[in-house]
């Protein structure tokens, strides 16, 4: 069974629930990391939960939704091994998976639930990472980041 984690802030709650409903119909196992209602929450709490679930190998991929997607992008990409991509078009959703081994699809509340669902299913999840072609680029990015962090 395919398994994915999903989280949002209060602004993305309704869209999250819609995406979950569609994924469940397709036979996905969903790890809903919250929130459980539309009450105001601090988005970093939920971005952290999702990033930790992937970093700790509880799931391979995730979806996170907030107002603009920018805040969640900042939060999840602070974790080692996380490559979250804010996607608002089909091309980006496809390429972030194929070329960048992205493991978190980040959406915003302006996106249609069908966009997130269709791109998760058809572009993000099912596309295989082109490891041979792109692995050296990912390694280079990680090495350069480590070098620069140690020289700050």
Instruction: Output the pLDDT for position 120.
Output: 54
Checking if the pLDDT of 45 tops 80, the result is: yes
Among 66, 87, 96, 150, the one annotated catalytic: 66
Say what the pTM is.
0.76
Average pLDDT, the chain: 80
CATH of 3-150, one of 3.30.930.10, 3.40.50.970, 3.40.50.10860, 3.40.1400.10: 3.40.1400.10
β-pairing, 62-66 vs 84-86, is: unpaired
102's CB contacts (< 8 A; 6+ apart) are 83, 84, 85, 96, 124
The predicted model gives 31-37 an average pLDDT of: 97
Instruction: Output the pLDDT for position 27.
Output: 87
99 has catalytic annotation:
yes
CA distance 103 to 109: 20
Which residue ranges make up each domain of the chain?
3-150
10 has catalytic annotation:
no
The SS3 assignment for 61 reads coil
Could you say which DSSP state residue 123 is in?
Answer: I
- In the numeric block, which tokens belong to residue 45? 């709490």
- The answer to whether the CB of 68 falls within 8 A of the CB of 108 is yes
Runs of H (alpha helix) within the chain: 13-25, 43-55, 70-76, 90-100, 113-118, 131-150
The SS3 assignment for 33 reads coil
Instruction: Output the pLDDT for position 88.
Output: 79
pLDDT digits (tens, 9 = 90+) for 80-123: 999 999 987 778 877 888 888 899 999 887 765 555 555 555 54
CB atoms within 10 A of CB 113: 18
Q: Report the candidate in 66, 100, 108 with the shortest Cα–Cα distance to residue 84.
A: 100
């Amino acid at each position: 069974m395919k398994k994915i984690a999903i989280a949002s802030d209060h602004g993305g709650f309704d869209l999250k629930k819609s995406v979950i409903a569609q994924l469940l119909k397709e036979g996905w196992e969903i790890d809903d990391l919250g929130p459980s209602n539309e009450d105001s929450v601090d988005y970093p709490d939920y971005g952290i939960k999702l990033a930790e679930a992937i970093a700790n190998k509880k799931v391979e991929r995730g979806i996170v939704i907030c107002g603009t997607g920018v805040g969640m992008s900042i939060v999840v990409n602070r974790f080692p091994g996380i490559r979250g991509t804010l996607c608002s078009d089909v091309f980006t959703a496809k390429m972030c998976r194929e070329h960048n081994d992205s493991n978190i699809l980040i959406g915003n509340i302006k996106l249609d639930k069908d966009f997130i669902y269709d791109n998760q299913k058809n572009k993000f999840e099912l596309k295989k990472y082109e490891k041979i072609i792109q692995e050296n680029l990912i390694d280079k990015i990680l090495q350069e980041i480590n070098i620069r962090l140690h020289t700050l």
